[in-house]
Structure 1
Amino acid sequence: MKKIFMVAVISSLLVGCKVDLETKINTDNLLSSEQNIVKGNINFEVSSCNDFEDSRKESKSLIELKNKVPEIFRDAEYVECYKQKLNSFAHFSIPVGVGKVEDGQNTVDTDLMVFSYKEILAGVYASEGVIKRIKQAEKNSHQKMDFSISIILMPGNVKMDKVVALGVTFTGDTSKNDPVLISRIKFGNKPLTFKLSDVSVNQLMQYGMVPFLVTPEYFTLYK
């Protein structure tokens, strides 16, 4: 009976809700061999932040979510619950690794990492452990989570020339939420936002890695 109840709780918390992950990365850190850890923000949609009968109390769904999220994402910390228009969201912070990956080099011990590697100027990595925990939660609820993953790149001192974007929605100076299959991208002095497409998110969950910025030579090496 207890097991059935827990499955029902997980289902009500994680199924059919939006899970928005966003992190800001400086391009100097992205291209640096010295890997770092930055903060990622992850927001889970909840039915309500407050208890229906007593608004001074947290809702049951929020309380259960606060217990469940750290079991899926290591070192996740609850920040706040807020309402945006008609929807409520529970905001958590998680550590995200960032940096250049070399052959034979150990990476920072985080569930998620934004990395560069040879002709891959920017990609997202998800550890085997976090993918397994996500799939287990989805299995318990019999449905998938609706992930949205965005990376905001802050221009640094190191220039990124001849950049090609893959499988993203791009927001920059002259564009907003433009879908990109394959396109050249020019970096200026302002931040650029890259949101992974549904296909890219599925690839990340299946293979544990997906590139979204590459050099033109990438297509020759990996054709």
Structure 2
Amino acid sequence: MHYFKFLLCFGLLFLTGCKGSIETRVNISDLLSTKTKDIVGDLYVEVPSCTSYKDSRQESDSLQKAKTQISNIFTGAQFNECFTKQFKSYAHFHIPMVLERDNDGKLASETKLNIQSSEDNLLAVGFPSSIAEKLKRLEESSLRTQSLDIEVNIEVVNDTGKSHSFRVISAYIDGDPYVYESLSAPADSSFLVTLSNVSVDNAKQNGSTFVLLH
């Protein structure tokens, strides 16, 4: 089983909102040959505080609300811990995901985030409508005072033992922007793919978005 790390920060009902990031790491060999299977992700949600200001032994209201909201948005999410890092507090959840291969453009799961690949498509991100709709309802319930600005970062590791060429649809590669350009990853190297805002919005609106092509 592959281990995926995620960081998602979004405004809760009492916040004005914040910017978040989903981060993961995948091997090219898995994208080329792995059949559809369940995987596990880590979800980190920024909260004002882990503990109550009245009693540090008790959970804060913000953490309790985060636990409720995350379980509603991500089916099967499990709370792990809450911690503080660099003066910011994060609630850590395990969430079920799916890595799918050759699924005819359809999502393998309508309740989980999908990492997709096929004969033509090296990497795509699938965003089920059930999750997108719940995020939209959360935003609308706060009279749009919350920002749900999600950034997606995927580290791609070339473990094939040889260089691997690919085409970028529209994304940042190691911080540099590329639109319909061809690149090559040397053997035993890795590169960071950051989806553009358009790609993320497209995934949320249409279910999935192509990121890299063969």
5+ long unaligned stretches in structure 1: 1-8, 172-176, 216-223
Aligned to 1:208: 207
Asked if 2 retains the 8 angstrom alpha-carbon contact of 1:113 and 1:124, the reply is: yes
In the alignment, the residues of structure 2 paired with residue 170 and residue 34 of structure 1 have an alpha-carbon distance, to the nearest angstrom, of: 26
Q: Which amino acid aligns with 2:36?
A: Q
Aligned to 2:57: 56
In the alignment, the residues of structure 2 paired with residue 194 and residue 90 of structure 1 have an alpha-carbon distance, to the nearest angstrom, of: 25
Is 1:166 the counterpart of 2:165? The answer is: no
Asked if 1 retains the 8 angstrom alpha-carbon contact of 2:129 and 2:205, the reply is: no
Q: Which amino acid aligns with 1:120?
A: N
Q: How does 1:26-175 map to 2 (within 5 A)?
A: 26-32=27-33, 34-103=35-104, 107-108=108-109, 110-143=111-144, 144-157=147-160, 161-171=164-174
Alpha-carbon offset, residue 73 of structure 1: 0.9
Aligned partner (choices 176, 184, 187) of residue 185 of structure 2: 187
Alpha-carbon offset, residue 99 of structure 1: 2.9
Asked if 2 retains the 8 angstrom alpha-carbon contact of 1:95 and 1:110, the reply is: no
Asked if 2 retains the 8 angstrom alpha-carbon contact of 1:27 and 1:158, the reply is: no
What is the CA deviation profile of residues 86-136 of structure 1, one whole-angstrom value per residue up to 9, with x for unaligned ones?
A: 322212221221131243877256521111133221000111211121111
Instruction: Say what the alpha-carbon RMSD is for the aligned residues.
Output: 2.5
Q: Which has the greater radius of gyration? A: 1
Identity of aligned residues (%): 28
In the alignment, the residues of structure 2 paired with residue 75 and residue 155 of structure 1 have an alpha-carbon distance, to the nearest angstrom, of: 31
In the alignment, the residues of structure 1 paired with residue 111 and residue 98 of structure 2 have an alpha-carbon distance, to the nearest angstrom, of: 6
Asked if 1 retains the 8 angstrom alpha-carbon contact of 2:126 and 2:207, the reply is: yes
Asked if 1 retains the 8 angstrom alpha-carbon contact of 2:111 and 2:130, the reply is: no
Please give the TM-score of this superposition, normalised by the length of structure 1: 0.78
In the alignment, the residues of structure 1 paired with residue 133 and residue 70 of structure 2 have an alpha-carbon distance, to the nearest angstrom, of: 14
Aligned residues: 201
In the alignment, the residues of structure 2 paired with residue 180 and residue 81 of structure 1 have an alpha-carbon distance, to the nearest angstrom, of: 37
Aligned to 1:221: none
Alpha-carbon offset, residue 46 of structure 1: 0.9
CA spacing shift, 1:87–1:104, aligned 2, 3 Å: closer
Asked if 1 retains the 8 angstrom alpha-carbon contact of 2:107 and 2:114, the reply is: no
Please give the TM-score of this superposition, normalised by the length of structure 2: 0.81
SS in 1 for 2:104: coil
Asked if 2 retains the 8 angstrom alpha-carbon contact of 1:164 and 1:182, the reply is: yes
Alpha-carbon offset, residue 211 of structure 1: 0.9
Q: Which amino acid aligns with 2:179?
A: L
